[in-house]
Amino acid sequence: MSEKNYGILLLSFSKHSHQSSFVPLYQQHPRTHIVAVTDEVDIEPELKAVNKKWAQQLDVPYIEGVDRALERTDVDILSIGHEIERRADLALRGAAAGKHLWIDKFIGASIDECDAVVKGVEAAGVKSIIPSYIYGELVRQSRAVLDSGRLGGLLGLHADIMFGKGWPRPIPSPPTRDAFLPPGRWKFPDIKRELLTVGAYSAGLIQQCLGPISHVYGQAGAYFFPEHAAHRADDFGTLTMTDDAGRIATLCAGRIGVAAHAAGGPQQTYLIGTKGNILIDAKSPRLDTFLRQTIVATNYQPHTEDYMQWHSGPPTLAAPLMPDNAGLEAGLQEFIRALDEDRPPTYTVREARDNMEILIAGYLSVVRGKLVELPLEREAS
Amino acid sequence: MANTALVLVAVPTQQEIVQALCTRTEIAAVFNPTRRPIADLPVPVFADWASLEEYATPDVCCFLTPYAALKKDLHRCIDKRINVLSAGPIGLTLNEIETISKTARDRELALHFGGPYPFSPLFQQLKEQRQRPEFGQPVYLRLVQGKGSGLQTAWWTLCDALNQACELLDSELQEAYVSAVKQNGKYHLSLTGATANRANIQLTIAPLALSLYPDITLLGSGGLLTNRSVSSAPLLMGRDGLEFHLHPTYPPEPAWLGDFLNKINSTNAPDLDWPVLNLHHQILRGARLSMRQKAPVHIKLQP
């Protein structure tokens, strides 16, 4: 019997999503094919134009109206790349239509939304995967060394992930901690909140290495971009947490501007064990590349239409040697295997919900200026 | 004090540092508070004070490590009119420190708590780079280091790391949480803080004795300063595996000790920094509480 080939419906190419990074994966995987692009009817004309352009490029239909697209019987997987505020509703509708879900990072904008998605997806009996956090080099290498037993018992994990993107400028009067924007509003047309956006990767790593997180302390503010300062939002932040056994995790996350790192920004973690420590660099192994003309002629100025470099990277002085550094390809393979075997993937909407709870707790801690306990009280979300 | 008789208190994992000190300074003897021997030292090593004092009459004692009887031995030094330089804080209450420092003052003895980091080439280079206008405003400092598995050693290392951090960020600590965990006798400590100039600090102390430099990442609004001790150390690849070596002129202890001796000789002994001593005391208490509560513990800072 031939193996099933899965039809994929691309739901939105919103500028804050990684849908465009998923396209080559779907095209290259022998068991997936893109059947259409869709989006809601009430989206901005700019987004509609981008969606249509992608549909044209991929030579598939663009379907206005998600519910209409979900009626198609050749759609097995819904690839959700919409704005964070719309994701929960779209995920629930996709699940109710019996479609499996590939969701770009966040499954909802609040814990209530995330809870609803977990409930809806599990009730519908469809499979879900959030591919961005645990299938990449950082988690792969960390898990391998932990599983080897060489570190002994894990005591702590300390991750630094920073994106060397965007063009920092002086901030004349940075907002005080007291004025920090509470959690809930995650993006504006010109910025995303970076403790959430970048910190989610380290939170995923922490989930895979430690037990359930019980306490979170957060610090955040704007240091690099006047745009973040104007919104009283974070372009950089740190979290400190302990799990139910008292083991320690810390992370820093942020967008720190171009040309601050040879490989486009640190992505590393220290694992501290009773028998040893290890520093894992997600951007290693890599080849250092010092090509004179490339260096002296480099134009670091971000594109005017992608000022924060959400869809582009800065020039770097290093080339990664591992082809699937971010782990998206591994994520897709895992998803297909899970569908074949009728089992949930390792990182589903349930784990993504817990990831979001850690981050929201961090934001609440910044606002309150004190430690926050998990699980969060309902009104806090 | 032209012919100062100097005694070091050190443990076997500090053999390289003691050797570096012996090369640069005249050391009379070493006191080893453990039962494990320290190999290959050019000076006699003693396991009890009575034997050591039969061999030499020290007038300066340099504590390079914490240990169970440190408090008792500190009192012994002051009683015997020995100047004291300690690389870390002593587990005394502020009242106890006040009493002992008064005794030291009355006897014209120098008593100083604080590690050698200001003399480390890494620290000096970071400070120099950080002061360049291109660095911009300091945003974040991560320091990772390990000097041993016990709580007192981890505490010393953490206090030293915090002093470094505040000096590199050039600001006062305004907010701090300490976290600690213990498993199989190994302690892991972490301190998260914020300074008055809005920079964030994350200090990570591993339960492993590494004589290499700390790993420090110092992020400014204008860029990133970062080192990895392992990549900076000479690496020996042999049949038995890899060995990292300390650069022969790296250890800052000889310059630190030399500076202390100069200050004693010029009767310019360093004063005790009471707010810092109090902070260190709070950190130790916080670490113990954190282990019991399995949660980060807020450190109340003096206004």
User: What is the per-residue pLDDT across B209-227, written as a single tens digit (0 to 9) for each?
Assistant: 766 789 999 999 999 999 9
pLDDT, mean of residues B60-69: 95
Question: A215, B296: Cβ pair inside 8 Å?
Answer: yes
Residues 1-60 of A with CB under 8 A from B: none
The parts of chain A modelled with pLDDT lower than 50 are: 380-381
**Nearest residue, CB atoms, B186 vs list A245, A260, A274:** A274
- Residue pair A107/A114 in contact by the 8 Å Cβ criterion: yes
More confident site: B65 or B246: B65
Residues 72-131 of A with CB under 8 A from B: none
Write the CB contacts of A246 (distance below 8 Å, at least 6 apart in sequence): B181, B290, B291, B293, B294, B295
On chain B, the residues whose CB falls within 8 A of the CB of A232 are none
Q: Is A279 on the interface with B (CB under 8 A)?
A: yes
B272 to chain A, closest Cα gap in Å: 31
pLDDT class for B1, splitting at 50, 70, 90? very low
Mean pLDDT estimate for chain B? 92
Q: Which residues of A8-20 are buried (b: 16+ CB within 10 A; e: fewer)?
A: bbbbbbbbbbbbe
More confident site: B248 or A133: A133
pLDDT, mean of residues B37-51: 93
- For residues B237 and A236, give the distance between their C-alpha atoms in angstroms, rounded to a whole number: 40
- For residues B181 and B154, give the distance between their C-alpha atoms in angstroms, rounded to a whole number: 11
ipTM beyond 0.90?
A: yes
More confident site: B302 or B208: B208
- Residue pair B245/B236 in contact by the 8 Å Cβ criterion: yes
Q: Which residues of A269-278 are buried (b: 16+ CB within 10 A; e: fewer)?
A: bbbbbbeebe
**Nearest residue, CB atoms, A217 vs list B140, B142, B296:** B296
A373 to chain B, closest Cα gap in Å: 9
pLDDT, mean of residues B90-114: 89
Residues 231-260 of A with CB under 8 A from B: 236-238, 240-242, 244-248, 250, 252, 256-257, 259-260
pTM for this predicted structure: 0.95
**What does the pLDDT look like over A10-47, one tens digit per residue?**
999 998 899 999 999 999 999 999 999 999 999 999 99
Which pLDDT belongs to residue A361?
Answer: 98
Question: B200, A238: Cβ pair inside 8 Å?
Answer: yes
Question: B217, A244: Cβ pair inside 8 Å?
Answer: no
pLDDT, mean of residues B283-303: 94
Residues 292-351 of A with CB under 8 A from B: none
Which pLDDT belongs to residue B269?
Answer: 64
**Range in A5-9, A298-302, B76-80, B160-164 with the lowest mean pLDDT:** A298-302
Question: A236, B207: Cβ pair inside 8 Å?
Answer: no
Which pLDDT belongs to residue A140?
Answer: 96
**What does the pLDDT look like over A186-212, one tens digit per residue?**
999 999 999 999 999 999 999 999 999
Which pLDDT belongs to residue B267?
Answer: 66
- Residue pair A84/A109 in contact by the 8 Å Cβ criterion: yes
DSSP sequence for A40-107: -TTS-HHHHHHHHHHHHHHT--EEESHHHHHT-TT--EEEE-S-HHHHHHHHHHHHHTT-EEEE-S-S
Q: Is A215 on the interface with B (CB under 8 A)?
A: yes
Alpha carbon separation from A11 to A106, A348, A368, B222 (Å, rounded): 14, 18, 37, 38
